[in-house]
């Protein structure tokens, strides 16, 4: 009976402490002029004695409109039995319009706390309203030889070009044989991707503890292939945008789902510090190889010989 009461009391205390967790993000102003700078402040307050939270700001990296001037470091202070974790990011925006700074999130125990998105309005610089001065009349100067310098240079260039052409023709006429240049072999996107995946497979860097680096290289090869194969900006897009573009290209649901699984696992490892099972990394590499082979374009059939 006492054990049950202690357990219930402990649950109430933890719940009350957790309720004091507050994660906010704020800016100096939600409106600014084009090119101005201001601060984005991220602040997490939690009860003293609670383990530090794992704070994720990766969503800010996907904001192509947000130019980071200076990314500060996280500071940790204690006041009134509260631990304050705070970071200040100096940023600017160079395109006018309406934007939305995405929320960040913090993981504390088994709970996740998110900040609110922040709308931003960027206005252009107002033009000068003082008006223009009257247009002055044209003042003509006396002509001199420098006025025709451009024409002289053109004629000299044409003369040297003609002489060079005559010299080349004479040299070529003396040659009895000229070897044909070897054409440069242009690899197709799937051929490049398969070669890089085989190199990654041979290196087996995940077995050396470089699991995150392995998934970074794996998804880069996949994104590079998608960009060359389907002409989508995969290297500059998020995983959600890539899946949306693949559906728009008419790719089958099964293949879209496989690509989504590969990108989802990689994002989990890179951004949430996930740790896949022992054979999951090698399996992800095999799935990527299979995905590239299945989506590679079919080779054209050879042309039939013409009858003599």
Q: Are residues 283 and 198 in the same domain?
A: yes
Question: Domain for residue 71, yes or no?
Answer: yes
**Pairing of the two strands 22-27 and 54-56:** unpaired
Calculate the CA 139 to chain-centre distance: 54
Distance in angstroms (rounded) separating the CA atoms of residues 185 and 206: 32
Question: Domain for residue 153, yes or no?
Answer: no
**What's the pLDDT at 41?**
94
* Domain final residue, candidates 103, 123, 143: 123
* Domain final residue, candidates 94, 123, 152: 123
Q: Are residues 26 and 100 in the same domain?
A: yes
Q: What is the DSSP string of the chain?
A: -HHHHHHHHHHHHHHHHHHT-EEEEEES-SEEETT-EEEEEEEEEEETTSPPPEEE-GGGGG-TT-EEEEE---EEEEETTEEEEEEEEEEE--S-EEEEEPP-EEEETTEEEEPPPEEEEEEPPPPP-S-PPPPPPP-PPPP-GGGGHHHHHHHHHHHHHHHHHHHHHHHHHH-S--PPPPPPP---HHHHHHHHHHHHHHH-GGGGT-HHHHHHHHHHHHHHHHHHHH---GGGS-HHHHHHHHHHTT--HHHHHHHHHHHHHHHHHHHS-----TTHHHHHHHHHHHHHHHHSPPPPPPPPPPP-
**What's the pLDDT at 71?**
86
Domain that holds residue 261: 189-295
Question: Domain for residue 268, yes or no?
Answer: yes
**Pairing of the two strands 82-92 and 37-47:** antiparallel
Q: Taking the chain (308 residues) in consecutive chunks of 10 residues, what is each chunk's mean pLDDT?
A: 42 49 91 92 86 84 88 87 90 92 88 90 76 73 82 91 89 64 77 90 87 88 89 89 88 88 85 81 88 82 44
Closest CA to 263 of 236, 239, 237: 239
Give me 24's structure tokens: 């906010």
CATH label of the domain that carries residue 93? 2.60.40.10
Question: How many residues make up the chain in this entry?
Answer: 308
**What's the pLDDT at 27?**
94
**What's the pLDDT at 182?**
59
Specify the number of domains making up the chain.
2
Q: Are residues 195 and 291 in the same domain?
A: yes
Question: Domain for residue 29, yes or no?
Answer: yes
Distance in angstroms (rounded) separating the CA atoms of residues 148 and 157: 14
Q: Are residues 107 and 197 in the same domain?
A: no
**69 contact partners, CB below 8 Å, separation of at least 6:** 37, 90, 91, 92
Question: Domain for residue 175, yes or no?
Answer: no
Distance in angstroms (rounded) separating the CA atoms of residues 226 and 54: 32
Question: Domain for residue 183, yes or no?
Answer: no
**What's the pLDDT at 88?**
94
Question: Domain for residue 25, yes or no?
Answer: yes
* Domain final residue, candidates 95, 123, 151: 123
Q: Is 138 exposed, middle or buried (0-12, 13-18, 19+ CB in 10 A)?
A: exposed
**What's the pLDDT at 256?**
87
Question: Domain for residue 66, yes or no?
Answer: yes
Q: Are residues 114 and 197 in the same domain?
A: no
Q: Are residues 208 and 287 in the same domain?
A: yes
**What's the pLDDT at 76?**
87
């Amino acid at each position: 009976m006492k054990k049950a009461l202690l357990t219930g009391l402990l649950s109430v205390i933890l719940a009350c402490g957790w309720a004091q967790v507050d994660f906010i993000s704020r800016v100096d102003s939600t409106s600014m002029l084009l090119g101005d700078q201001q601060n984005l402040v991220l602040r997490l307050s939690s009860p003293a004695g609670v383990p530090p939270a794992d704070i994720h700001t990766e969503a800010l990296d996907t904001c192509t409109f947000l130019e980071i001037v200076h990314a500060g470091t996280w500071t940790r202070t204690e006041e009134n039995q509260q631990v304050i974790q705070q970071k200040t990011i100096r940023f600017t925006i160079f395109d006018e319009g309406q934007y939305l700074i995405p929320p960040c999130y913090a993981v504390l125990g088994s709970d996740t706390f998110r900040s609110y998105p922040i709308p931003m309005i960027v206005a252009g610089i107002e033009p000068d309203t003082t008006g223009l001065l009257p247009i002055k009349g044209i003042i003509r100067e006396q002509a001199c030889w420098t006025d025709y310098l451009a024409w002289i240079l053109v004629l000299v260039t044409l003369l040297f070009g003609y002489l060079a052409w005559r010299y080349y023709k004479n040299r070529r006429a003396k040659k009895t044989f000229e070897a044909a240049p070897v054409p440069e072999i242009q690899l197709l996107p799937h051929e490049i991707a398969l070669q890089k995946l085989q190199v990654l497979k041979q290196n087996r860097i995940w077995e050396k503890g470089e699991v995150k680096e392995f998934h970074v290289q794996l998804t880069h090869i996949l994104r590079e292939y998608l960009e060359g194969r389907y002409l989508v900006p995969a290297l500059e897009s998020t995983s959600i945008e890539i899946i949306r573009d693949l559906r728009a290209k008419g790719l089958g649901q099964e293949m879209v789902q496989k690509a989504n699984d590969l990108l989802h696992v990689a994002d989990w490892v890179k951004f949430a510090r996930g740790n896949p099972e022992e054979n999951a990394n090698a399996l992800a590499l095999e799935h990527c190889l299979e995905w590239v082979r299945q989506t590679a374009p079919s080779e054209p059939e050879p042309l039939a010989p013409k009858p003599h």
